Amino acid sequence: MENRELINLAKQAMENAYAPYSSFKVGAAVVGKKGTVYTGCNIENVSYGATNCAERTAMFKGVSEGEIEFKKIAIVSTAQDLTFPCGICRQVMAEFMRGGMVILEDKEGIIKEFSVEELLPKAFVR
């Protein structure tokens, strides 16, 4: 799947975000090793600790369908600029996306790629 297509799927997923507390909507689209795409949005909760990020929503959907290896993930937000994954999401990526790529779009519409290892060097992995 081309990066632009993946970004567009992440934008569609962002429309479903539940973000009544921060108003910061995020969408993600991840490609599994088998080629299937899973999308996700952020889902907030008044307790904040129960909030789930778009990246983990997408990856966990894939894992729940039997996919445990992902090749790349696109992430977008209402900030309409590079939106890097949080630390928890980076750790989940280290588990399920070894050698994977993170695809982001800046405010000019330019797509940039980062390796999971670049975003979380010396990750805690088994």
Q: Exactly one of 55, 67, 108, 118 is catalytic; name it.
A: 55
Under a CB-based contact definition with an 8 Å cutoff, are residues 14 and 41 in contact? yes
Q: Does 55 qualify as catalytic in the annotation? A: yes
DSSP-derived secondary structure letter, 52: B
Q: Which residues are catalytic?
A: 55
